[in-house]
Structure 1
Amino acid sequence: MLYELTIQVRVTEFAKGQDWYTTLLKREPDFIPHDGFAEWELLPGCWLQVAKGIPSVNSGPLRLGVLDIEKERNRIQEELGVKRFELHSREEVPVKWGTFTDPWGNQLGFFEYKNEEEKKAKFRIALRSLQ
């Protein structure tokens, strides 16, 4: 039985990496167990770890669900200097999505449900899990 999830990205400049991910996630890390390592609990039991090290080649993308992908794309382009972030959509896929990279080459992205009712339902489930 699976009950939790962690995913790790590595950055060569840890202080800059922690700052970058703090801006991306709009909050400080939840846990810093030692130098060169920080963790954010994105949802209950789902952790993003940022560690000092060599980034994995061709890993990811790790895509995060958002309510307004255009707004988030504009924010990270302005606040983090993300250059390439194209949005994609296909009729048969219920979400629109986009991928970008952090300054260390880790692939990240966002996705947004196209159907407003489905988006609201997913958001309500996430909110309940945080209570």
Structure 2
Amino acid sequence: MLFEVTNQIRVPDLVEGQQWYEKLLRKKPDFIPHEGFVEWEVIPGFWLQLAEGAPAENSGPFRIGVTDLEATKDFLIEELGIAPFDIHSREEVPVKWGTFEDPWGNGVGFYEYHDKKEEEERLNLLYK
């Protein structure tokens, strides 16, 4: 039975990386098991692991669902200095999405459901 997911990304300076990801995720790490490694439980059952080391070439993107992609994009540009990026949408895809890179070249993105009823159903499943 599958029940959790982790995604690990690497940054060359963990202190700098941790500070950046704290701003991105808007919270402190949930778990610091040892030196050179921190973890956030982004949503129940999904852990983002940040490790000190050389970033993997062409890493990601990992994408996180949000309820307001435009506001998230504005936050990223204003607070984290991310270069403006496009928001994409296709008729056959139930979400719109935007992708960018962290300062170390790791692919990151966010997406938002077009159908707010579907979004609410998914949130209810997640947080029931």
Q: TM range, normalised to the smaller chain? A: over 0.9
In the alignment, residue 72 of structure 1 is paired with which amino acid? T
Q: Which ranges of 4 or more aligned residues in structure 1 deviate by more than 4 Å?
A: none
8 Å contact kept, 2:59–2:105: no
In structure 2, the residue matched to 1:89 is 89
Q: Distance in 2 between matches of 1:102 and 1:84?
A: 13
CA RMSD, aligned part only?
A: 1.0
Q: CA deviation at 1:100?
A: 0.6
In structure 2, the residue matched to 1:108 is 108
Q: CA deviation at 1:71?
A: 0.3
In structure 2, the residue matched to 1:124 is 124
What TM-score comes out, normalization by structure 1 length? 0.93
In structure 1, the residue matched to 2:13 is 13
- How do 1:20-99 residues align onto structure 2 when only pairs under 5 Å count? 20-99=20-99
Aligned residue pairs total 128
Q: Distance in 2 between matches of 1:117 and 1:39?
A: 31
Q: Unaligned regions of 5+ residues in structure 1, if any?
A: none
Q: CA deviation digits over 1:36-90, x for unaligned, max 9?
A: 1100012222110001000001121100000000000100111100004210000
8 Å contact kept, 2:96–2:112: yes
Q: Distance in 2 between matches of 1:119 and 1:5?
A: 20
8 Å contact kept, 2:97–2:112: yes
Q: CA deviation at 1:13?
A: 1.3
When structure 1 is superposed on structure 2, of 29-38 and 118-127 the one drifting more is 118-127
In the alignment, residue 13 of structure 1 is paired with which amino acid? D
- Tell me the secondary structure at the aligned position of residue 123 of structure 1: helix
Q: Distance in 1 between matches of 2:84 and 2:14?
A: 23
Q: Unaligned regions of 5+ residues in structure 2, if any?
A: none
- Tell me the secondary structure at the aligned position of residue 28 of structure 1: coil
What TM-score comes out, normalization by structure 2 length? 0.96
Task: Give the percent of matched residue pairs that are identical in Structure 1 and Structure 2.
Answer: 54
